[in-house]
Amino acid sequence: MYCQVLVLAVFAAFQCGFPASCTRSLNDRPIIGILAQENLEDDPHAQGSSYIAASYVRHLESAGARVVPIHINRTEEEYEKLFNAINGLLLPGGNVDIDKSQFTRVAKNELAIKVSANDVSDYFPIWGTCQGFQQLTVLTSNKNLLTLTDTKAVALPLTFSPAWHCYCNSVRANHKRFYRVLTTNTDGKKELISTMEAYQYPFYAVQWHPEKSPFEWIEKDGMVHTLSAIKAAFYTAHFFVSEAMKNHHRFSSQSEEEKSLIYNYQPVFKGMNSIFLQN
């Protein structure tokens, strides 16, 4: 199991990747895609082959976005069509193989599309949380650079870094060209990157879980619901949704939009001891 860091503090602003686009007229009906991932084989509540945790959906909805699920068994043509209809992408936390899973296959395809789009001034933001953070590092460095740390089920303060400060143990050289490190943390022995953003693209990633404080209620160390934790959660949601508002993709019709929305799926309650209360 890869480390999961839950950092709870009032958050500082991310940088705007494309300053000129920050002044564009905004899309006040943003729709953000969340990438699904494979169900665990031993999950007794599994319905179908993949899932999205409801807390990520609520996280985005709390800031004024709607959500479309991105399935892991579609064609490249279908992903291209969906890209032209949505305004941002969230890669969620979870527990799949970030080298060879279906989640990884689709994420790699999605990242390539988004990089190409941004290169021609089609502003399209990506957010990665925990596993999503890790997936982005694998895809941008072409190797798995994860280091095991003693940071599971803990709440830590963010240690902010100067904009040029870009390091974290073995990932120093591989992240320096693509990402600006915003915060780091330590388990007392190793220093790790906890928040980062791309230099040239509106891509953002956190190794912690802003969505859990307001929307997940498992009794577990590190799961706190303080006012400052919840403010941090809603700040990150607001920031990412505001980035998605800079994109003006649209579905081809209202019927196509309605067919695609997460509202077509019913949440499944997994119990108060589950990592995700609802999928």
Q: Are the beta carbons of 61 and 67 closer than 8 angstroms? A: yes
Q: Are the beta carbons of 133 and 145 closer than 8 angstroms? A: no
Tell me what the pLDDT averaged over the chain comes to.
84
Give the pLDDT of residue 16. Answer: 47
The residue-averaged pLDDT of 26-39 equals 96
Distance in angstroms (rounded) separating the CA atoms of residues 121 and 136: 21
Q: Which residues pair with 129 in a beta bridge?
A: 206
Q: pLDDT digit string (tens) for 165-204?
A: 443 433 444 565 799 999 888 777 778 888 999 999 999 9
Catalytic residues, by residue number, are: 130, 209
Q: pLDDT digit string (tens) for 73-122?
A: 999 999 999 999 999 999 999 989 988 899 999 999 999 999 999 999 99
Give the pLDDT of residue 46. Answer: 79
**Confidence grade of residue 254 (pLDDT, cut at 50, 70, 90):** very high
Which has the higher per-residue pLDDT, 240 or 23?
240
Q: Which domains does the chain have, with CATH numbers?
A: 6-39+47-252 (3.40.50.880)
